[in-house]
Amino acid sequence: MIRYLLLALLGRSAAYGYELKAAFERLLAGTWPINIGQVYRELARMEANGLVECTVVAQDLLPDRKVYELTERGSKELERWLEAPPTSLVRLRDEVFLKVIVQLGNHGAALETIWRQREAHLTAIAELGRLRNETDAATGLLIDGLVLRLEADLRWLDLAEDADRAT
Amino acid sequence: MIRYLLLALLGRSAAYGYELKAAFERLLAGTWPINIGQVYRELARMEANGLVECTVVAQDLLPDRKVYELTERGSKELERWLEAPPTSLVRLRDEVFLKVIVQLGNHGAALETIWRQREAHLTAIAELGRLRNETDAATGLLIDGLVLRLEADLRWLDLAEDADRAT
DNA sequence: AGTGCCATGTAAGGAGTTACATGATTCG
DNA sequence: CGAATCATGTAACTCCTTACATGGCACT
């Protein structure tokens, strides 16, 4: 995933690692903090695979920059990813859901988890509301997506509470 | 995650690996196919950590079973997980979202991705509807959660389409 | 003197996926 | 004879996370 996001960012314009980390986190509004080391490792790997190539740009006073850009293969690979059929959506590996369903019927415990989660969801939604203001279109849209999901999960927590009481 | 789910299953009753794999997949309605090898590896690891202990039960005609049960430490660990504060919900690493936002403004491409995704979501929802019939309460609830999320994502795709046209 | 920014990296490890190995029994 | 079920495991690999290393400059 990281690899393809970096490819997508390089598809917009050539960039060096340090800059890519910032662009990456700005695009995702900091919801995916990435370690700078990983950016360099991915770039090195992609270079080895011929997806990107770099030019060293010397600077005085500051360290050299290694400016990367997509190769032909790189943009093919990016395009391939973008056009690939969606991976299976029938897949749910979230703590929230799992913690609740394994406790279903265990009244006290399930309800406590549900309440804790509900509160966490509300906090997260509020936090995203604050984040939403300081972003551009694409990032704002991403945040909207997150909020919609969290709202769906809140409705699910209501369902779960009913289901637990019904047992 | 796998580790804790196995602990939760063992919290219900002692079981051996082969059986745990089946219970795991039944609980998750097959949305998380797990490799049997991983079950054995996790069990071995948990045994080394003193979370579970096993008794070998000989069978005639069939291979021996290693029946595991939670230790005191194991149920403490399970409880700790269940009661732990939810991990951050402000985090979104799904292909769907990322593929769309990196293409936003790139009209043709973004719209194609959106349509592909919409279709995949509808297919997935239909599939889950079929699955829903053959399950018990907890698993059914899980599926409801998945469906709610997919519906939220569908609404998001509408938002994304509007946002793309607006650029 | 210490913190933070610029810019590059290496290394260790956890979690999950996929494939393969072994051996007996039962069903078609 | 071949495939599926029961039952155990090992090995290799990808992806992501976390921590650490280096070195100069600027600001307080």
pLDDT tens digits, B45-90: 999 999 999 999 988 777 889 999 999 999 999 999 999 999 999 9
Chain B contacts of A120, Cβ < 8 Å?
85-86, 89
Chain B contacts of A85, Cβ < 8 Å?
116, 120
How are strands ordered across the β-sheet holding A65-70?
Answer: A15-16, A65-70, A52-57
| Region A84-107 average pLDDT | 94
* pLDDT exceeds 90 at position B40: yes
Pick from A5, A83, A160: which is nearest to B141 by CB? A160
Pick from B81, B91, B141: which is nearest to A101 by CB? B141
CB pairs under 8 A between A and B: 166
User: Per the confidence metrics, is the pTM higher than 0.85?
Assistant: yes
Tokens for A42?
Answer: 């991915």
Quick count: other Cβ atoms within 10 Å of Cβ B164? 24
Going by pLDDT thresholds of 50, 70 and 90, the confidence category of residue A107 is confident
Cβ <8 Å between B141 and A127: no
Going by pLDDT thresholds of 50, 70 and 90, the confidence category of residue B134 is confident
Residues 6+ apart with CB under 8 A from B151: A152, B125
Contact A138, B104 (CB under 8 A): yes
Residue A113's pLDDT is: 97
How far apart CA A137 and CA A27 sit, in angstroms, is 10
| Neighbouring C-alpha atoms within 13 Å toward the C-beta of A132 | 14
